[in-house]
Amino acid sequence: MSPPTQRVTVAGRTLSLSNLDKVLYPATGTTKAEVLHYLTRVAPALVAHAAHRPATRKRWPDGTGGQAFFQKNLDASTPTWVPRRTIRHSSSSNDYVLVDDLATLTWLGQTATLEIHVPQWQFGRTGVPLPPDRLVLDLDPGPGVGLPECAQVARWARDILTGMGLDPLPVTSGSKGIHLYAALTGHGTLTSDAVSAVARELARHLAGEHPDLVVADMKKSVRPGRVFIDWSQNNGAKTTITPYSLRGREHPTVAAPRTWGELDDPGLRHLTADEVADRYEADGDLLAPLLAGHLSQLEPTPERLATFARLGTYRARRDPDRTPEPFDDGTAPAVTADAPTFVVQEHHARRLHWDFRLEHDGVLVSWALPRGEPTDPGRNHLAVQTEDHPLAYGGFEGSIPAGEYGAGEVTIWDAGTYELEKWRDDEVIVTLHSERRGPRRLALVRTGGRGGDDENSWLIHRTKDQPRDARPAVPDDGGAPHDVAPATGGPVPPRPDGSAAPDGAATAPTADAAALPAPPGPAPRPMLATAASPGELARLDATDWAFEVKWDGFRTIAEVLPPDPDDTADAPGPRVRLTSRSGRDLTATFPELQALADRVPADELPVALDGEVVALDTAGRPSFRRLQQRANLVRPREVERARRAVGVDLVLFDVLRVAGIDVTDHPYDERRAILRRVVAPRRPVHVPDALTGTVAEASAESRRLGLEGLVAKRRRAPYASGHRSRDWLKVKHVGAQECVVVGWRPLRAGTPTQDPRSVGGLLLAVPDGDRLRYVGRVGTGMSDRERRELAARLADAEVARAPVDDVPRPDAVGARWVEPTTVVEVVHAGWTGDEPGEGSLRHTVWRGLRPDKDPASVVIEATDGARPDAG
C-alpha cells in the first residue's frame, strides 16, 4: 500500500500526492496513481493542446461513481506557482488555471480532475486574449445512432473543410461522438464569431444536403436518429474537452486523436487511457498539425507601442472617468475603410472652432480651425496643430463636461476617406471624399507663425485645382463650415406645414407643401448605411440614435399608386410597385405583396416606403437561402410554383413620400411616426418597432433572435435618398460580403469527371477605386441545382479575357471568364490582410445571388467581432 502522502518534485515544483490507492474508476479499479501515470505518459501532447487556454476543470473526488464538480475559479488551496489568468465576466471575475506544464497537470491529477475543458483561443504572451487558432465541429449522436454515423458525417464535413483549404483532424471524444479540429494558421484577424459563422453555415449546409442523418438545430427533440453538428463550440465563451484528456465515464476513456482510416472501420469505438498512451508513444501526436497556429496571432509590436506613445499627450490631458471621449491604447486600431479616413468635428468649446483630423500612422493627426474649412481658393485659414487623437475619436460625438479639457459639445460636421498626395513635416496635400459635402482638394502648410518658431502654426488652403465632381464653393463670408451648401444633390424642399404637431407627434403633410413629381416615373432611390466598427456603434447614445434590426433579404422601395385611369376593370384598385436597390422591377416576382395596397388608406396615395422583402424560416427568422428560391422569377407559372413552397413578407422601416408629398427632409423619429400612421401592418406587411435600450442591449437582442445585424440611425437626420450616409451605421453579426463574379470553374475541373454544366467554384472580386480587385473564390455551400443554374446563367456572359489582372495562377487554371455584372453574397471567416477588405477572403461559404444589387454598389462590409465572456 502506498504511504498516505508522498512529496515529489515535478519539473522543479514540489507537490504532495495523497490517496494514490483511491479508486477513481470503480468499474475497472483504476486508481489515482494510474491516472497520474497516464497523465505523465501523454503530458507533452496534452499540455501542448491545452497550454495558454483558460481551463475549466471537472473533478470526481470520490471517483466516477460519486458526484462531479465543475470548477472554474482557483481557490485558496491552489499552489502559488500554478499559472493562471483572470477573465472578467459581466458580474464577476474568475481566475482560471493554465495547463502550461507537467507540474500543473500533475497537481490537477492529484485533485481528481479527470476532465479538462478549454476554448479554441489562447491568452497571448502579454495576457491579451487572442483570436481563435482552431476551428472545431462537435459531432454529437442522438438516440439511435453512434460512432459509425458520426464518422460518415465527419467524412462529409471533411470534404467541405478541405475544399476551404483546411486540414481537419478527427478525435473520438471518449464520451459519445467525434470532434473535428482544423488549425487556423496565420489567421490572426479572425474572431470567434466569424469562425462560428462559418461553422454554422457548414452545419446548415450538411443538414440541408443530408436531412435524414444530420441536424444543425440545437433542439433535442429533432435529434433522435440523427447526428447533431454542434458548431457553437467555436463561441469564445464555450469550451471543449481537450485532446488526450480523460473522461469521467464508467471506464477511463480518452478524447483520442484518430486517423481517417480508422473512421472507416465499422467497429470504431472509444479508446481507453492505456491504449491512447501506447499509441502516443508508438506513433507520436496525430494532432501535431493543429499546433501550427499557436501564439502566432498579432500582439503588441514596436510599431504598435510607438502608436501608444504618440497618444501620451492625449491621455495626459483627459481622465477616462470624467469624460466620454474614447481612450485607445493603440494596440487595437479601430476598423477603418479601404482608404484612410478623415473627420471634421464642430466643437463648441470656450471658442467655437472646427477640428480637422486625418488618419495617419495609426492615429488621427489633428488641427484646430478657428474659422473652419476654407471655401474660397483666394483665402487661407489658420490651422493650429493639436495633439494626435486615437482612431476611435473619428466617430465621437457628445458633450465634454465643464472643467475638462476641451469642454463643450462635439458633433461630426463631415467625415469620409481621403487620397494622400503628399505628407511631409511641413506640408500635407489631400483630396477628401465625402458623401455629405462632396470631394475637395486641400493643402496644409506649416508657417511657424509670425516669428517662425511656432511649430504648431499652419495654414489650410483650398486649392484652385479641384476634383471634377467637386461641389461649388459657397461665397466665403467668414469661412465657417456651416456656410457650405448641404450635400443633398439639389435644393431641399421646405418641411411641410403641420408635419409635426406641437406635442411632437407627426401628422399628415399638407397639400401646400412642396411635392415631388407624382408617379409613375422612376422609383426613389433608397438611403444606404455605412459600414461601421463595433466600437463605433458602442459609443452611440440611444437618446440620439435609434437601433433597428438588419434584415436579411432584398432591399425594396414599395410604392402604392392610385388606380390606373386606363385600367379597363370595373373598379380598378390601387397598384403596388416594388423596385430593388439597383432599380430592377420586382413587382411580378412577389405578387403576394400586392396586399400592401389594402394596408394604406386611399387618401394617402401615392406613397413610397422603404423596406425589405424577406422569407422566414420555421423559427420566424429571415432566411436568405429560402429567399433565393424566389429570386429571378417573373413567369407567372414559375412564380406561383415557387410561392407555394416559399412565401415572402415585406418589412417596412421608413417612408419617403405620402400623398405625393416628399417627407425625406423630416427627421427619423417623425418619419417613423408617419409610417406607423400610414400603414396598417398585417401579414405579409410588417412595421416592426426599433429595438429598445442601449446599443449593447439592442445588439444582444438582435443576436438572440438570430438576425443578421444592427443598423443605427441618427434620430435628427433626414432621409438621404440615393446616398450612402454616416447618419445610418450598420454592423453585421457574421462575416458576410457581397462580391462581383469575374469567372467560374466547372465542377471537378481538370479531372476525367469534369462537369461543364455545373459550377465548381466562382471567382470573385470587389470594386477598388475604378477597377475590380480579385478576392478569392467560393464553391462550398451550393446545392446541385444552384450549381447548374449558375453555369447556365454565366454561359451567356462569357468573355475571352479576365476582367481582373491579379488572379493567382492556381485559381485561373481552367477558369471561364465572364462579364462582371453578377453580384453574389458569401459568408467568410475574415480577410488575409490586417484590415477588412485587405487581401483575400478566408474560408468562404456560398449564400446566394444578389439580383437586387449592381456591381457598383458593392462595398466592404464590417462585422461585429465582439467576444462574449469566456468561461
- Measured distance CA(287)–CA(168) in Å, rounded: 10
Q: What is the 3-state secondary structure (H, E, C) of 76-103?
A: CCCCCCCCEEEEECCCCEEEEEECCCHH
| Residue entry with cell 515529489 | 8
CA 464 to chain centre: 42
H/E segment holding residue 282: helix 273-283
Measured at the CA of 286, the angle between CA 266 and CA 156, to 5 degrees, comes to 45
What is 479-543 written as a DSSP string?
A: --GGGSPP-SSSPPPPPPTTSB-TTS-B-PPPTTS-BPPPSSSPPPPPPEEEE--HHHHHT--TT
Query: Do 223 and 143 contact (CB within 8 A), yes or no?
Result: yes
Tell me 681's DSSP state.
-
- Measured distance CA(126)–CA(611) in Å, rounded: 47
CA 803 to chain centre: 28
Provide the phi-psi class of 471: left if phi over 0, else alpha when psi is between -120 and 50, else beta. Answer: beta
Q: Of 642, 641, 846, which is closest to residue 208 (Cα–Cα)?
A: 846
| Residue entry with cell 443633398 | 488
| Residue entry with cell 511656432 | 454
Per the residue annotation, which of 22, 238, 550, 713 is the catalytic one? 550
Q: What is the 3-state secondary structure (H, E, C) of 21-47?
A: CCEEECCCCEEHHHHHHHHHHHHHHHH
Q: Which three cell numbers stand for residue 405?
A: 479639457
- Measured distance CA(782)–CA(772) in Å, rounded: 24
Tell me 155's DSSP state.
H
Query: Do 825 and 738 contact (CB within 8 A), yes or no?
Result: yes
- Measured distance CA(383)–CA(455) in Å, rounded: 11
- Measured distance CA(353)–CA(266) in Å, rounded: 77
- Measured distance CA(488)–CA(721) in Å, rounded: 9
CA 852 to chain centre: 21
Q: How many CB atoms lie under 10 A from the CB of residue 450?
A: 8
Reduced to 3 states (helix: H, G, I; strand: E, B; else coil), residue 286 is: coil
H/E segment holding residue 638: helix 636-645
Q: Which three cell numbers stand for residue 186?
A: 496565420
Half-sphere exposure at residue 8, Cβ-oriented, CA atoms within 13 angstroms: 16
Burial class of 652 by CB neighbour count within 10 A (0 to 12, 13 to 18, 19+): buried
Active site residue 58: no
H/E segment holding residue 10: strand 5-10
- Measured distance CA(672)–CA(235) in Å, rounded: 36
CA 294 to chain centre: 23
Tell me 124's DSSP state.
-
Reduced to 3 states (helix: H, G, I; strand: E, B; else coil), residue 199 is: helix
Q: How many CB atoms lie under 10 A from the CB of residue 51?
A: 21
Query: Do 851 and 584 contact (CB within 8 A), yes or no?
Result: yes
| Residue entry with cell 497537470 | 105
Burial class of 726 by CB neighbour count within 10 A (0 to 12, 13 to 18, 19+): buried
Q: At what angle do helices 273-283 and 32-50 cross, to 10 degrees?
A: 50
Active site residues: 550
